């Protein structure tokens, strides 16, 4: 079985209008919410084999904060430029190309691609909020075979969820 958790970056700051989108950092709310969501992963007993993150500052900060809360070896954190505003198709191809030695992988990225991938894999949400997490279980031992036919929702969590 393969497990994947889609993580949307934390709330980003908009206070500098001259800053390029890629370079926007986490806002105070993001800095507060991301560690909380990391602790919720600990409560679920979740620790990834790999975290793939967009290179956008807000996503990279999110991935790094989660990895610190989970006390992960930083070698498990990989930044990938192709995750920046990636489409569902790009995200799915990336996952399908993963080494099968990884059982549990986090993707840290952006909407609308994350929402779209959730729908492609059979999930049903209106919106993956900032700092939100959507987990899938896939009845396969090969990432290349990940599809809507073998995937099911594991959990959906976000900061304001009771």
In this structure, what are the phi and psi dihedrals at residue 117, rounded to the nearest 5 degrees?
-65, -40
Instruction: Return d(Cα 4, Cα 105) in angstroms, integer.
Output: 5
Q: How confident is the model at residue 136 (pLDDT cuts 50, 70, 90)?
A: very high
How do 133-138 and 104-109 pair as beta strands? unpaired
Please say whether the beta carbons of 42 and 143 come within 8 A. no
Neighbouring C-beta atoms of residue 82, cutoff 10 Å = 14
| Nearest Cα residue to 5 out of 44, 36, 31 | 44
Q: Is residue 150 helix, strand or coil?
A: coil
> What is the rounded average pLDDT for all residues in the chain?
97
2-157 CATH: 3.40.50.1240
pLDDT at residue 52 in the model? 98
User: Which SS3 state, helix, strand or coil, does residue 146 take?
Assistant: coil
pLDDT tens digits, residue range 26-81? 999 999 999 999 999 999 999 999 999 999 999 999 999 999 999 999 999 999 99
**pLDDT for 17 beyond 90:** no
For the segment 115-119, the average pLDDT, to the nearest whole number, is 98
**DSSP codes of every residue in 61-82:** HHHHHHHHHTT--GGGEEE-GG
Rounded Cα distance, 135 and 48, in Å? 12
Give the β-pairing of 151-157 and 50-53.
Answer: unpaired
pLDDT the model gives residue 48: 98
What are the domain boundaries of the chain?
2-157
* Coil, helix or strand at residue 156: strand
């Amino acid at each position: 079985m393969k497990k994947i958790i889609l993580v949307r970056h934390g709330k980003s700051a908009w206070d500098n209008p001259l800053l390029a989108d890629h370079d926007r950092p986490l806002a105070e709310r993001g800095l507060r919410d991301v560690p909380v969501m990391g602790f919720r992963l600990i409560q679920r007993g979740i620790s990834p084999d790999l975290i793939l993150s967009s290179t956008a500052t807000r996503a990279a900060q999110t991935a790094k904060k989660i990895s610190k809360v989970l006390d992960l070896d930083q070698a498990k954190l990989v930044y990938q430029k192709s995750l920046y505003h990636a489409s569902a198709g790009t995200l799915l191809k990336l996952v399908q190309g993963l080494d099968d030695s990884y059982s549990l992988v986090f993707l840290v990225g952006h909407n609308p691609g994350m929402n779209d991938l959730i729908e492609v894999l059979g999930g049903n949400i209106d919106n993956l909020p900032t700092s939100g997490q959507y987990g899938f279980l896939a009845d396969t031992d090969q990432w290349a075979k990940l599809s809507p036919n073998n995937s099911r929702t594991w959990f959906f969590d976000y900061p304001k969820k009771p």
